[in-house]
A and B are shown apart, each in its own frame.
Chain A
Amino acid sequence: EAGVTQFPSHSVIEKGQTVTLRCDPISGHDNLYWYRRVMGKEIKFLLHFVKESKQDESGMPNNRFLAERTGGTYSTLKVQPAELEDSGVYFCASSQVSTGGATQYFGPGTRLLVL
């Protein structure tokens, strides 16, 4: 069974540009999470989808970040316009609702560098 996949693996953009990150969760996982790790610090929660609905977006830093999960399958996270402090590694994770969803499985991450 395929794990969580993320695209692209790396992205280098200039300040003010737009970047869109994509996450494909494990098939059948209704829970989808976005996390971010900045400057090698702790991994921090951004938001949580249950199917196509945003369950919790309390971790989103500001309105330059927009996440979508149309159809309840893959998700995108768009940063527009990007700022220097947005640099970091963006992880996506998924879990099953039916089994309680406690164990989240992570993708390899997208390394974003804003210059």
Chain B
Amino acid sequence: DQQVKQNSPSLSVQEGRISILNCDYTNSMFDYFLWYKKYPAEGPTFLISISSIKDKNEDGRFTVFLNKSAKHLSLHIVPSQPGDSAVYFCAARGFSGSARQLTFGSGTQLTVLP
């Protein structure tokens, strides 16, 4: 049973436009959400995160929105650049105790077209 879902395996966007990547989760005990970017043959690179007590976090061109009632988060990239082309993983962290590991979605391949 996948607790973190990224239902879009791929997304293509024109350079300069907005990219919106979506993620849904089922476990209401997650307390922290993160987005990672991954290039081929490399490890995931941390991009941006948000605590469950917030609904928005912004860092330059990247903004993450959290809707707890809908158990949904999204990553907005504005403006999109060709170098943003990568696989984006949504991840969630457990609330307490031993459950501090990250649970990942299956990833969304973003392609930014020049």
Asked if A109 is an interface residue, CB under 8 A from chain B, the answer is yes
Please encode chain A, from 78 to 109, with 1 for each CB lying within 8 Å of some chain B CB and 0 for all others: 00000000000001010000000111111111
Residue tally, chain B, CB below 8 Å to A: 26
CB contact under 8 A between A107 and B100, given known A42-B105, A42-B106, A42-B107: no
Given A48-B100, A55-B100, A103–B43 Cβ distance below 8 Å?
Answer: no
Is B82's CB within 8 Å of the partner chain A? no
Q: Is B62 an interface residue (CB 8 A)?
A: no
With an 8 A cutoff between CB atoms, is B93 at the interface? yes
Residue of B nearest to A91 (CB): B43
- Cβ contacts under 8 Å, A28 to chain B: none
Instruction: Give B92-114 as 1s and 0s: 1 = Cβ < 8 Å from A's Cβ atoms.
Output: 01000011111111110000000
Assembled-state Cα–Cα distance A4/B44 (Å): 11
Pair count A-B, CB < 8 A? 63
In the complex, whether B36 has a CB less than 8 A from a CB of chain A is yes
CB of A8 to closest CB in B, whole Å: 14
Query: Which residues of A line the B interface, CB within 8 A?
Result: 4, 6, 31, 33, 35, 41-45, 48, 55-56, 58-59, 91, 93, 101-109, 111
Binding site for A on B (CB under 8 A): 2, 4, 32, 34, 36, 41-46, 49, 51, 89, 91, 93, 98-107
- 15 A-B pairs besides A43-B91, A55-B98 with CB distance below 8 A are A33-B102, A42-B89, A42-B104, A43-B104, A45-B102, A55-B100, A56-B99, A93-B102, A102-B51, A102-B93, A103-B46, A106-B36, A106-B43, A109-B43, A111-B41
